[in-house]
A and B are shown apart, each in its own frame.
Chain A
Amino acid sequence: MTAPLLSVRDLSVAFAVEGGTSLAVDRVSFDLAKGETLALVGESGSGKSVTALSIVRLLPYPAASHPSGEILFEGRDLLKLPERELRKVRGADISMVFQEPMTSLNPLHSIERQVGEILKVHRGWSAAKCRARVLELLTQVGIPDPEERLDAFPHQLSGGQRQRVMIAMALANEPDLLIADEPTTALDVTVQAQILTLLKELQQRLGMAMLFITHDLGIVRKIADRVCVMTAGRIVEQGPTARVFQAPEHAYTKKLLAAEPKGAPPLFDAAAKPLVEVDDLKVWFPIKRGFFRKTVGHVKAVDGVSVIVREGQTVGVVGESGSGKTTLGLAILRLISSEGGVAYLGKPLAGLGFSEMRPFRKDMQIVFQDPYGSLSPRMPVVDIVSEGLGVQGKRLKRAEKREAVARALADVGLDPSAMDRFPHEFSGGQRQRIAIARALALEPSFIVLDEPTSALDMSVQAQIVDLLRAVQARRKLAFLFISHDLKVVRALANEVLVMRNGKVVEQGPSSEVLATPRTDYTKALLAAAFDLEAKAGHAVAQ
């Protein structure tokens, strides 16, 4: 057996915190051979990204330190390499692709400059030579019309294209090792499938090794030869992907594998009482041009959507990002202005002002995607959850308020005694429970759930899905469930609305739509979500 390309031995990473250090990675060892793909998989906080970043020493030193371990790359210990030497390795022999394509490209540099920089730094090439290579790279990563794109700036590209540019940058010097840190997490499922296919293809063609960091087991199964399962800074299991998936040995791996959202939504019942009726809803943003700001056209974020949400039922809204899902949810709650009819229990809401809407807010609530952003960081949980109660004209005594908060917290499976703590003392899943409790405290009958699970870890996702279903059954709630994740939608929604560019392309009971999709777009979405296949490429975003 030849020596591995990368060999990580007993690597530990510690971070300085107030009054001591905390160990983020605890004696991790793994090998990576030439041309092999190794996946580091784990939930957030498991130390997988920190492990990857320490390979190229990109951690915030001196706050971070390595109490033990060595990282042998082609026989040299990267941890002991002087900074000058290391810079030659970074970007040339080892390169990285990061998670967020929106922020990992410099918004003020053109694509040519961005990609060419690496060539200039490492090879000292002339501008013309760089340009030719950049063109070649852009063609390689599948950017359409690469000549025209050379002068484009990042904001002129879509998320998928930006990630392709990132990959082009990483490949520029034909590295031996590509570290991909959740390269598809911020992308749409359809785009994710395309990027994964591209990475796999390029890897085979260029014969590089790939260290792939992800939390998504579906991706691991698709792309990795071997897998390391990490939790709490340790690798608890490693082995060939097929073996780990078929016969997981460690309890944590079993738990991860079992964590997919399961269960079935309530049965579709066309006879249930309609709560919210949306008729031909339109949200058009005017495009203004010229000196007098004349309206020359509209961005049709939501264009003529009609849907009925019934008591105790869940309507799932799916689609790629930018298809108008969230805008639809906000427009139904009249948090943004819209045209067309929205009625709650037959009472029209269109044209109501902010204070006229207030009585309806009690019945119509929303839960947002990001549990870190949707809770005010400076308020204790009791104030967050009870804020709506105060507004809704219920002059409650302090004790009654606390009672109501305790009920809402108990409803979402949180300990009521935690109500005086601040949001940052809770985990992501717990925060999302608090956000749900805030919506539930008003005892609404209709809740818009705007991607409530997509910022959460897989195992937590499943818990939140179970929770939502339980609450729905108990209180006969109606949900409008917005998500790009078809797995979650399948587990929760009994009616599905497939949106694209503001329009509904397919609508019906979820059993029908998900089993026998009629449009190419829906088929592509399903293929991308369940099989990570890039199908019917013309029907989806690039």
Chain B
Amino acid sequence: MSDAFAVPPESQSPAASPPPTPGAPPAPAPRGRLSPINRRRLANFKANKRGYWSFVVFMIVFVVSLFAEFIANDKPFLVKYDGGLYFPAVKTYSETTFGGDFDTEADYRDPYLQDLIRKSGGYMVWPPVRYSFNTINLNLPTPAPSPPTWMLTDAQCASAAAARTPAGDALPQTAAPRAKSCADIEWNWIGTDDQGRDVFARLLYGFRLSVLFGLALAFLSSIIGVLAGAVQGYFGGWTDLLFQRFIEIWTSIPTLYLLIILSSVLAPNIWVLLGILLLFSWVSLVGVVRAEFLRGRNFEYVRAARALGVSNAAIMFRHLLPNAMVATLTFMPFILSGSITTLTALDFLGFGLPPGSPSLGELLAQGKSNLQAPWLGVSGFLVIALMLSLLIFVGEAVRDAFDPRKTFR
């Protein structure tokens, strides 16, 4: 009896507390155990090598982009000033904290402030890239859009390098002033856009925003779609008939025009955009889920549950929803990539996120209007293409994983 109760503590059932009697029910199996069918799905998912590695790569990029503030930021993540430690990346400090004159937020890129900190015997720990998505590089070697720094000649860099006088006199005129080169200026690895903002930082933040927006839209529209499909499929009859006609009318509204009209009335921000897109994207799952519920409500185990007196809501959630979830999960990556594409398209047309937001679509639009600056269009295209391709490959692998007939290869 003793080893029957040898289960991980988190699943310790109350059954363990009374003294074990003969015939007592066995302790429950650990909860985290994957059911065999899920184990098979995982194996199928991994068997699709392209999809599996796409998933790994996508997750790495996505998780890294979640920490964008620690990779590309115009604030250091650690400042030592006057013996105290400050964390500007996560907390806002005013300039006066570091002995400045104004009560405004400290600008750590300002040579004056850098000077103050250095003089106090402190230091700053910067992220690898010292621009945020909206940081304007005031010291551009060429007029914006400025090409990637490694493409510039030293002559082009000279004026910018000269302007970037080393603050403080750590090494006063002991050595002859050597020729200024591109190594002396702050680098823009993929150049800047037409407002002098670092393209790499904008891509990083833009990728994150796109994926998060896509996830939110896919998730919310799935919830609404599943609920609507569930209700229609389960109750059938008039509910189904009326709802279906409504959806037919609703989907025939041209979404893009409506968005254009709405965005001229409402000030676009990410939540408004999410709401408007949600109005139309939830219908994509309804058909699938409705079909699953229509099929499932005649299953004998549903009838058995009714005979037990289980309520409609409980039947829908406990018995039927798991069936519909397979279809939903299979569709999810495709809905996700569709959502991202929609957002990008709107941004490209200028009806998307408010100006200044890190947006891949806006970058593409800039690339289109600045054909002399190919780094804008090319880098934007590469990131979007990579992101969407990875998602589609993942989607294929998910589809394989849930395919019940895929028993052999």
A interface list, Cβ under 8 A from B: 16-18, 62-63, 333, 335, 354-355, 357-358, 361-362, 365-366, 368-370, 373-376, 378-379, 382, 387-388, 391-392, 397-399, 402-403, 405-406, 410, 416-417, 419-420, 422, 424-425, 435, 438, 442
Shortest CB distance A421–B (Å) = 8
Number of A-B contacts (CB under 8 A): 110
Known contacts: A358-B309, A442-B308. The answer to whether A399 contacts B407 by CB under 8 A is no
Whether A373 contacts B306 in the complex (CB less than 8 A), given A399-B14, A406-B25, A417-B26, comes out as no
- The CA of A374 and the CA of B304, in the complex, are separated in Å by 7
Q: Which residue of B lies closest to A442 (CB)?
A: B308
Kindly report which residue of chain B lies nearest to residue A401, judged by CB atoms.
B25
A277 to B299, CA, bound (A): 28
| Residue B307 at the chain A interface, CB threshold 8 Å | yes
Known contacts A374-B300, A422-B36; is-contact A410 B314 (Cβ 8 Å): no
Q: List B389-407 residues whose CB lies under 8 Å from chain A.
A: 407
Partner of B300, one of A361, A368, A378, A425: A368
Can you list 27 A-B contacts with CB-CB less than 8 angstroms, sorted by A residue number? A16-B408, A18-B407, A62-B408, A335-B303, A354-B312, A358-B309, A361-B309, A365-B308, A366-B307, A373-B299, A373-B300, A379-B319, A382-B28, A387-B310, A397-B14, A399-B15, A399-B18, A399-B25, A402-B25, A402-B28, A406-B24, A410-B23, A416-B25, A419-B26, A420-B28, A422-B37, A424-B36
Cβ-defined contact, A399 with B304, below 8 A = no
Question: Residues of A contacting B235 with CB < 8 Å?
Answer: none
Q: How far is the CA of A354 from the CA of B308 in the complex (A)?
A: 11
Beta-carbon nearest neighbor of A365 in chain B:
B307
Q: Cβ of B309: which chain A residues have Cβ within 8 Å of it?
A: 357-358, 361-362, 388, 391-392
- B35 near A422 with CB under 8 A, answer yes
> Are B308 and A361 in contact (CB-based, < 8 A)?
yes
Are the C-beta atoms of A370 and B300 separated by less than 8 Å?
Answer: yes
Once the chains bind, are B13 and A402 in contact (CB under 8 Å)? yes
Q: Are the C-beta atoms of B43 and A18 separated by less than 8 Å?
A: yes
CA distance A438 to B322 in the complex (A): 21
Q: How far is the CA of A373 from the CA of B323 in the complex (A)?
A: 13
Are A368 and B304 also in contact (CB < 8 A) when A18-B40, A373-B299, A388-B309 are? yes
The yes or no answer to B64 lying at the interface (CB within 8 A) is no
Within 8 A of A (CB), among B1-41: 4, 13-15, 17-18, 23-26, 28-29, 35-37, 40
Partner among B29, B301, B306 whose Cβ is within 8 Å of the Cβ of A420: B29
Inter-chain contact A391/B303, CB cutoff 8 Å: no
Q: Closest 10 A-B residue pairs measured CB to CB?
A: A361-B309, A402-B25, A388-B308, A406-B25, A374-B300, A399-B15, A373-B300, A358-B309, A420-B29, A399-B14
Q: CB-CB < 8 A to A374: which residues of B?
A: 300-301, 303-304
Q: Which of B82-129 contact A (CB under 8 A)?
A: none
Given A375-B304, A399-B14, 18 more pairs with CB closer than 8 A: A16-B407, A16-B408, A17-B407, A63-B407, A333-B307, A335-B306, A361-B308, A368-B304, A374-B301, A376-B318, A387-B308, A387-B310, A391-B308, A392-B309, A402-B26, A405-B25, A406-B24, A424-B36
Instruction: Please indicate the chain B residues that have their CB under 8 angstroms from the CB of A362 in the complex.
Output: 309
B372 at the interface (CB under 8 A from A): no
Q: How far is the CA of A298 from the CA of B301 in the complex (A)?
A: 29
B320-370: which residues lie under 8 A (CB-CB) from chain A? 322-323
B270 at the interface (CB under 8 A from A): no
- Taking CB atoms, residues of chain B closer than 8 Å to A369 are 300
> A376 with B307: in contact, given A18-B40, A399-B15, A420-B26 (CB under 8 Å)?
no
Query: A391 and B35: CB pair below 8 A?
Result: no
Given A358-B309, A388-B309, A391-B309: A378 and B299 within 8 A (CB)? Answer: no
Which chain B residues (51-99) contact chain A, with CB distance < 8 Å? Answer: none
Residue of A nearest to B325 (CB): A378
Residue of B nearest to A64 (CB): B408
Hey, which bits of chain B sit against chain A, CB under 8 A?
A: 4, 13-15, 17-18, 23-26, 28-29, 35-37, 40, 43, 299-301, 303-312, 314, 318-319, 322-323, 407-408
Q: How far is the CB of A419 from chain B (nearest CB, A)?
A: 7
A63 contact from B14, B26, B28, B408, Cβ within 8 A: B408
Residues of A within 8 A of B300 (CB): 368-370, 373-374
B307 / chain A contacts, CB cutoff of 8 Å: 333, 335, 361, 365-366
Give the Cβ gap from B40 to chain A, nearest Cβ, in Å: 7
Chain B residues within an 8 Å CB radius of A375? 301, 304
**How far in angstroms is the closest Cβ of chain A from B31?**
10
Chain A residues near B306 (CB-CB < 8 A): 335
A358, A370, A376, A398: the one contacting B15 at CB < 8 Å is A398
Closest to B39 in A: A18
Residues of A within 8 A of B23 (CB): 406, 410, 416
* Bound form: Cα–Cα A256–B28 in Å: 37
State whether B304 touches A391 (Cβ < 8 A).
no
A84 to chain B, nearest CB (A): 25
The chain A residue with its CB closest to the CB of B311 is A391
CB-defined contacts of B323 to chain A, threshold 8 Å: 378
- Bound Cα distance from A442 to B305, whole angstroms: 13
Contacts of B308 in A (CB 8 A): 361, 365, 387-388, 391-392, 438, 442
- Distance, CA A361 to CA B4, complexed state (A): 34
Q: Is the CB of A438 within 8 A of B304?
A: yes
Which of B305, B308, B312, B407 has the most C-beta atoms of chain A within 10 angstroms of its own C-beta?
Answer: B308
State A39–B23 Cα separation when bound (angstroms): 46
Residues of B within 8 A of A378 (CB): 35, 322-323
B319 vs chain A, min Cβ distance (A): 5
Contact of B314 among A391, A403, A405 (CB under 8 A): A391
User: How far apart are A330's CB and chain B's nearest CB, in angstroms?
Assistant: 8
On whether the beta carbons of A403 and B29 are closer than 8 Å, the reply is: no
Which residues in B have their C-beta under 8 angstroms from that of A392?
308-309
* Structural contact, A402 and B15, CB atoms closer than 8 A: yes
Taken together as a complex, chains A and B put the C-alpha atoms of A406 and B300 apart, in Å, by 24
User: Which residue of A is nearest B405, CB measured?
Assistant: A60
Closest-CB distance, B321 to chain A (whole angstroms): 10
Within 8 Å CB of A420, what residues of B?
26, 28-29
Q: Name the CB-closest residue of A to B17.
A: A399
On whether the beta carbons of B25 and A387 are closer than 8 Å, the reply is no
Q: B40 — nearest CB in chain A belongs to which residue?
A: A18
Known pairs A388-B309, A416-B26; A376 contacts B301 (CB<8 A): yes
A366 CA / B29 CA spacing, docked (Å): 29
Complex Cα gap A416–B23 (Å) = 8
**Alpha-carbon separation in the docked complex, A421 to B35 (Å):** 9
A318 to B400, CA, bound (A): 46
- B25-A419 in contact (CB<8A): yes
Q: Which residues of B contact A62 (CB under 8 A)?
A: 408
Q: How far is the CA of A397 from the CA of B15 in the complex (A)?
A: 9
User: A450: nearest residue on chain B (CB-CB)?
Assistant: B300
Query: Whole-angstrom distance between the alpha carbons of A386 and B318 in the complex?
Result: 13
Q: How far is the CB of A100 from chain B (nearest CB, A)?
A: 18
Q: What residues on A are CB-neighbors of B28 within 8 Å?
A: 382, 398, 402, 420
Contact of A387 among B40, B305, B322 (CB under 8 A): B305
Query: What are the residues of chain A within 8 A of B29 when measuring CB–CB?
Result: 420
Q: How far, in Å, is B291 (CB) from chain A's closest CB?
A: 18
Q: How far does the alpha carbon of A424 sit from the alpha carbon of B308 in the complex, in Å? A: 22
Report the separation of the CA atoms of residues A370 and B298 in the bound assembly, to the nearest whole angstrom.
13
| Given known A391-B309, A416-B25, A420-B26, contact A435–B304 (CB-CB < 8 A) | yes
- B40: chain A residues at CB < 8 Å are 18
Within the complex, the shortest CB–CB distance from B27 to chain A, in Å, comes to: 9
Which of the listed residues A378, A405, A425, A438 has the most CB atoms from chain B within 10 Å of its own CB? A378
- The smallest beta-carbon distance between A408 and chain B, in angstroms, is 11
Docked Cα-Cα span, A209 to B17, in Å, equals 68
**In the bound complex, CA of A374 to CA of B303 (Å):** 8
Q: Which of A392, A403, A424 has the most B CB atoms < 10 Å from its CB?
A: A403
| Across-interface contacts of B304 in A (CB, < 8 A) | 366, 368, 374-375, 435, 438
The answer to whether B301 touches A403 (Cβ under 8 A) is no
Q: Which B residues are CB-close (under 8 A) to A368? A: 300, 303-304
Distance in Å from the Cβ of A526 to the closest Cβ of chain B?
Answer: 29
